[in-house]
Amino acid sequence: MVLKGRGADKPGSPERRVLFVCTGNYYRSRFAEELFNALAARSGLDWRADSRGLVTELGVGNLGPLSPQVATELANLGVRVDNRRGPMQLREGDLARADLVIALNEVEHRPLLHDRFPSWEERVEYWHIPDLDIALASDTLPLLERQVHALVRRLGSA
């Protein structure tokens, strides 16, 4: 995994960006985005997260702008979610603007990246966070929380 440099280590330089990618931008990537931004702000980390979905059209059954499990778990963690936007489709420009792109489940997302954004398939960091059709939120969200905490520590020491 290579972080793109933008000179963010220099005073007055722009924030660096991490982009979390999942299937529908309703559950995993939204949780990671909101938690990362809260943790980065608390620790003074000069990074900001965004999130997008690879195939948001598959989320026709999603109710509201954000998974209820995500909203509940973020509230339990003391993370206030002001941004109640709906899921957003991944575009090439989103990838290009990011300093680090993380797809949340390699088995699920690598083939989608290969099909839709082939030049990005090998430039993405892959995690192994299953969706709700494979694992319960009570198992997945704590795993994702640990991964995000580890990422904040890693970026803080880089």
What count of residues does the chain have?
A: 158
- Four-residue CA torsion sign, 69, 75, 76, 78: positive
Which residues in the chain show pLDDT less than 70?
Answer: 1-14, 59-64, 82-83
CATH of domain 16-157: 3.40.50.2300
pLDDT at 11: 45
H helices of 18-136, where? 28-43, 68-76, 92-97, 106-116
Strand 100-103 relative to strand 47-53: parallel, antiparallel, unpaired? unpaired
pLDDT for residue 7: 40
pLDDT in tens, 55-92: 988 765 666 678 899 999 999 999 988 667 889 999 99
